Amino acid sequence: MTTQTRCLRVGMVGVGMIFEETYWPFFRNVAHQPLHHRATGPVEVELRALASRTGQRAKVYAERCSAVNCHGPQALEQLLKQDLDVVCVATPDDRHFDAARLGLQHGKHVLIEKPSVLALQQLDELCRLAEQQQRLCRVVYHKLADPDHKKLRTHVAGSVLFHVNNGYCSLLEPKSISKGQFAEWIHGRNPGTYVAVHYLKLIDFCLAGPIPWSLARVTATGQRGLVGPSDGPTWDSVQMQVIYRYVDGREAAFDLHTSWVTPDNFPGYVEQEVQFRFDNGVWNAHQRKRGVEVTIENRSPGEFKYTPNHHYNGTFLEPWNVTSQRGYGIEIIQRFFEEVAYVEFGGSAENRSHRLREMRQLSYADASADRNVVAAVQALEAILGRHAAGQPGCLVQVNDDVGGLVLYTPGKAGHDILYSGRV
């Protein structure tokens, strides 16, 4: 047994809503109680540097943990000059790639918020760098840690629920997100890339049963006119359909509806539900209708939602009289740090590459296992781009005769290859 305390030093790129909701509570929790595993002993995790556009929101956190507050155009370069082991990327989705690439090039383990990146070419580059540098490159999909989704996956893995045929998923965000919090970067963006990925990953990871399947095609449409002009590139709501094909020729179809223009006083703030239909069963789930309904005069639904989801992230007075903040949104980040700690401190130096391989094989979060989600996102971005340019109704075929991701435009001969390799 060793009493030496190990430490992972972290740089955080992007200090916005998700940092405040999940990363900061994790860093605060781990400052009180280090990670601990039989193989590693105690491992401290220290937030050493923050990078953001203005540094304003980050200032208070930097002061609280004596971290360097990097901001402005050189923020990332400044952050990477610090002595770090890990870089977490929580910038807007079209700014993940550069930060993740630079982090890996500097030899850091990297954690990226969903969606990892917007194109398979970018994903290939991150995976190549992770291999070259012998580091982890992982993606946060917290819905996989939701107990209800764990149970769904358990049922599919055990063939209790057998052979999914179709389903729908809906995730609706309030107007305050698109018009307030995200106003700086929302131009040209869409809510599908932002949140449909939660369900793309859930389908891809949890619903794959014993009969192999693969992503076959993607279509999408959407509405404009509230967040931006009705003929512009910024989308209010998006509906996409993804089709998987089983090796026996049967197909499964999923409709994913997303929006960031629902009313701010909507009861649960964020509205999320799914239905999946199998050969032998139906699974219905609603994120906030899990039993609690509460109304507090003058404070609901603003401060206290009518139907809160306490499983994702909540502050609690524990029965043993300590206050805590926990939930699967925080748990999934802690799990990443446990995986890094295991790679770096979980045994002898000679066996590090074995431990690295072991963690990479946990496909729920590894960038190398994010291909179908990134393919669907790349297809969606291309279809919406064409739509905004006056060509609605495009279809992307996956792994057809001419390429890995191939865009077809109605009424036009020929095709555009978005990605030539196999998805």
Ligand X SMILES: NC(=O)c1ccc[n+]([C@@H]2O[C@H](COP(=O)([O-])OP(=O)(O)OC[C@H]3O[C@@H](n4cnc5c(N)ncnc54)[C@H](O)[C@@H]3O)[C@@H](O)[C@H]2O)c1
Residues lying near ligand X in the complex (CB under 6 A) are found at 13-19, 51-53, 75-76, 90-93, 95, 113-114, 140, 142, 181-182, 194
- CB of residue 41 vs ligand X: minimum separation in angstroms? 30
Comparing CB distances to ligand X, the nearer of 17 and 160 is 17
Which residue number has the CB closest to ligand X? 16
- CB of residue 101 vs ligand X: minimum separation in angstroms? 13
| Residue 128, CB-side half-sphere exposure with 13 Å CA sphere | 8
Comparing CB distances to ligand X, the nearer of 173 and 339 is 173
- CB of residue 201 vs ligand X: minimum separation in angstroms? 11
Amino acid at 85: D
In the structure encoding, which two tokens stand for residue 274, read together? Answer: 């799914």
Residue 91 sits at φ, ψ, to 5 deg, of: -90, 170
Residue 82 sits at φ, ψ, to 5 deg, of: -80, 160
Comparing CB distances to ligand X, the nearer of 142 and 217 is 142
Comparing CB distances to ligand X, the nearer of 48 and 142 is 142
- CB of residue 222 vs ligand X: minimum separation in angstroms? 17
- CB of residue 289 vs ligand X: minimum separation in angstroms? 19
- Dist CA 127 CA 121 (whole Å): 10
- CB of residue 91 vs ligand X: minimum separation in angstroms? 4
- Dist CA 283 CA 203 (whole Å): 13
Comparing CB distances to ligand X, the nearer of 40 and 287 is 287
Comparing CB distances to ligand X, the nearer of 14 and 228 is 14
Residue 330 sits at φ, ψ, to 5 deg, of: -95, -40
List, in sequence order, every residue forming a beta bridge with 6; answer none if it has no partner: 43
Contact between 26 and 334 under an 8 Å Cβ cutoff? The reply is yes
How far is residue 21 CA from its own chain's centroid? 14
Beta carbons within 8 Å of 253's beta carbon, 6+ residues apart: 165, 166, 241, 242, 243
In the structure encoding, which two tokens stand for residue 414, read together? Answer: 């020929």
Closest CA to 86 of 1, 27, 34: 27
DSSP string, 118-159: S-HHHHHHHHHHHHHHT--EEEE-GGGGSHHHHHHHHHHHTT
Comparing CB distances to ligand X, the nearer of 71 and 224 is 71
- CB of residue 17 vs ligand X: minimum separation in angstroms? 4
Looking up tokens 């095709």, which residue turns up? 415
- CB of residue 75 vs ligand X: minimum separation in angstroms? 5
DSSP string, 203-220: HHHHS--SS-EEEEEEEE
DSSP string, 257-320: EEEEEE-TT-TTSSEEEEEEEESS-EEEEESS-SS-----TTTTTTTS-SS--TTTSEEEE-TT
- CB of residue 347 vs ligand X: minimum separation in angstroms? 31
Comparing CB distances to ligand X, the nearer of 14 and 403 is 14
Comparing CB distances to ligand X, the nearer of 92 and 267 is 92
Comparing CB distances to ligand X, the nearer of 257 and 355 is 257
DSSP secondary structure letter of residue 91? S
Comparing CB distances to ligand X, the nearer of 53 and 108 is 53
- CB of residue 11 vs ligand X: minimum separation in angstroms? 11
Q: What is the Rg, in whole angstroms, of the alpha carbon atoms belonging to the chain?
A: 22
- CB of residue 380 vs ligand X: minimum separation in angstroms? 14
- Dist CA 74 CA 130 (whole Å): 24
